[in-house]
Amino acid sequence: MLLLWVSVVAVPALAAPDPGAGGQRRGAARVWPVAPNVVLVVSDSFDGRLTFYPGSQVVKLPFINFMKAHGTSFLNAYTNSPICCPSRAAMWSGLFTHLTESWNNFKGLDPNYTTWMDIMEKHGYRTQKFGKLDYTSGHHSISNRVEAWTRDVAFLLRQEGRPMVNLIPKKTKVRVMEKDWKNTDRAVNWLRKEASNYTQPFVLYLGLNLPHPYPSPSSGENFGSSTFHTSLYWLKKVSYDAIKIPKWSPLSEMHPVDYYSSYTKNCTGKFTEKEIKNIRAFYYAMCAETDAMLGEIILALRQLGLLQKTIVIYTSDHGELAMEHRQFYKMSMYEASAHVPLLVMGPGIKANLQVPNVVSLVDIYPTMLDLSSDPDELTNIATQFPEVTYSLDRKLRSIINYPKVSASVHQYNKEQFIRWKQSIGQNYSNVIANLRWHQDWLQEPRKYESAIDQWLKTPTNPKKI
């Protein structure tokens, strides 16, 4: 886990260089003369490659560009898990997914888990959260849970509506995602009416739903979110000619995991180049709207005279495939899905700097602790023993038993499904038949129930776990 700071004094490096090469661990904790305010804006499904060349050429993102010019951008920032709740659990806890065991959107952190915001509040920060959080357990739809738990079952069922676009033909329609704009307004009002009057430093979190695709009610009751929805106002921010059509492998040549993902996301049908290009264009337009919300926060800070006293961080929980690899959504470690934006600006942060080091969302946690001047965080023993630290770091990266972790996931899925099935009793057949996959399931319900029964009868060998 690494600190993200790139100060006007320190050179940029987010990893521990080889001590044998004369280096020392960089990014060590530092103390600000005056504790800065902190604003963290986290969007949903924003492809990090749009924040640097050549991806940045396809859509106008003025406020992301402002952050790049006045701060530091991380070119290789990644999600720790390309799913909403697991990635956010990592960001709020500072723990990797194999430690949180957040294998799907149902499982996150315990509601009482101590987050970096709790620690900052303990050390004198005034705190506030608005918008999407989604890092604790027990949320998301029943469909979302059951689909994740039954991935080992020998069947293929479409779980989403076919990806599509929907345009509001108004050149003046700015506020398309009303819920996000309302939360942005709440955050701005809090800055103006409360934060600007504080004598203590503050930390503000704003969570956005955009540019996540919208629900698709036209695809049937309970279906997923497969609509890329925007207005003409935002679509005009997109350079349509710069949009590239991703290369697809023939279905017969796809890796089984890719085929499974493409099929369950309802992407194995025929798509014209125009359809694909439009989906990508609309997604980029949704990114432009996201950028504008980030801009509202930056402008408010500047108008209140707080911008020079505030560390502003922008990132996302994961990316969006937008028809790359014949998929939309995320749920894969391909670049479009796993690469996230990470931009930081504020007092002590180098301007117009691009950092190539690999970082991830778990690095937010120690960075926030560093800001809060937590004495435990500031006592960095690792810097006193760089050779030992480097050796242990290399060993840690080599000993994670991936087969064991994978086996534990399979066991978890089966246990959770059995528990859920028992909880609904005699309603099981009706409930499972009417989840998001209902259009396929209802064609052969006995076949699919039988496949689940067979899966449940297959013994799991604890010794392999």
287 in Cβ contact with 244 (< 8 Å): no
322 in Cβ contact with 271 (< 8 Å): no
User: For residue range 127-173, what is the model confidence (pLDDT) as tens digits?
Assistant: 999 999 998 988 888 888 999 999 999 999 999 889 999 999 999 99
- DSSP 3-state assignment of 95? coil
> What span, in angstroms and rounded, lies between the C-alpha atoms of 82 and 283?
17
- The token pair at 96 is 């990797």
Strand order in the sheet with 342-345: 126-131, 202-207, 37-43, 310-316, 342-345, 71-78, 353-360
22 has pLDDT over 80: no
Model-level pTM? 0.89
Would you state the pLDDT for residue 9?
32
User: For residue range 55-113, what is the model confidence (pLDDT) as tens digits?
Assistant: 899 999 999 999 999 999 999 999 999 999 999 999 999 999 989 999 988 889 999 99
Axis crossing angle, helix 402-424 with helix 142-149, rounded to the nearest 10: 130
Residues 220-236: b if buried by 16+ CB within 10 A, e if exposed: eebbbbbbbbbbebbbe
Nearest of 140, 138, 137, 118 to residue 129 by alpha carbon: 118
Would you state the pLDDT for residue 138?
82
Nearest of 75, 90, 34, 59 to residue 310 by alpha carbon: 34
> What span, in angstroms and rounded, lies between the C-alpha atoms of 315 and 362?
12
User: For residue range 376-433, what is the model confidence (pLDDT) as tens digits?
Assistant: 665 667 778 888 888 888 877 776 677 888 888 999 999 999 999 999 999 999 999 9
Q: How confident is the model at residue 23 (pLDDT cuts 50, 70, 90)?
A: very low
Terminal-residue alpha carbon distance, the chain = 27
Residue with token string 């600007």: 196
- DSSP 3-state assignment of 354? strand
464 has pLDDT over 50: no
Backbone angles phi, psi at 60, to 5 degrees: -80, 120
Backbone angles phi, psi at 414, to 5 degrees: -65, -45
204 in Cβ contact with 36 (< 8 Å): no
Domains in the chain and their CATH numbers? 33-387 (3.40.720.10), 402-459 (no CATH)
Which residues are part of the catalytic machinery?
84
Give the chain's mean pLDDT. 89
Would you state the pLDDT for residue 378?
58
